[in-house]
Amino acid sequence: MTDLAGHFGVHPHQIQTWKKVLLDKASSAFEKPNGKPEDKSANSAELLQTIGQLTVERDFLARKLGR
């Protein structure tokens, strides 16, 4: 524990705290939050729209700057 603390520049007690939290909550690390299925379609459409807009803006600016 002391070697790890020295290597990462933290107090040994902090590493013990992190270990305790990990052991207490490790099983929930792979669960879906709130048990709700993810709605990827709405988020994907918004992201694709933003990508398209940014691409148009980038191309416009590149033409105006002569690149």
pLDDT at 44: 87
* Residue 14 placed within a domain: yes
* Residue 18 placed within a domain: yes
The count of other CB atoms within 10 Å of the CB of residue 55 is 10
Which residues fall within 8 angstroms of residue 2, CB to CB, at 6 or more apart? 12
Structural domain count of the chain: 1
* Residue 10 placed within a domain: yes
Side chain identity at residue 4, one-letter code: L
Spatial distance between the Cα atoms of 10 and 65, rounded to a whole number of angstroms: 49
* Residue 32 placed within a domain: no
Identify the domain containing residue 51 by its residue range. Answer: 2-26+41-65
How many residues comprise the chain? 67
* Residue 35 placed within a domain: no
Across the chain, which has 67 residues, the per-10-residue mean pLDDT values are 88 92 85 65 86 94 87
24-39 pLDDT, tens digit per residue, is 888 887 777 665 656 6
pLDDT at 35: 58
Whole-model pTM?
0.42
* Residue 34 placed within a domain: no
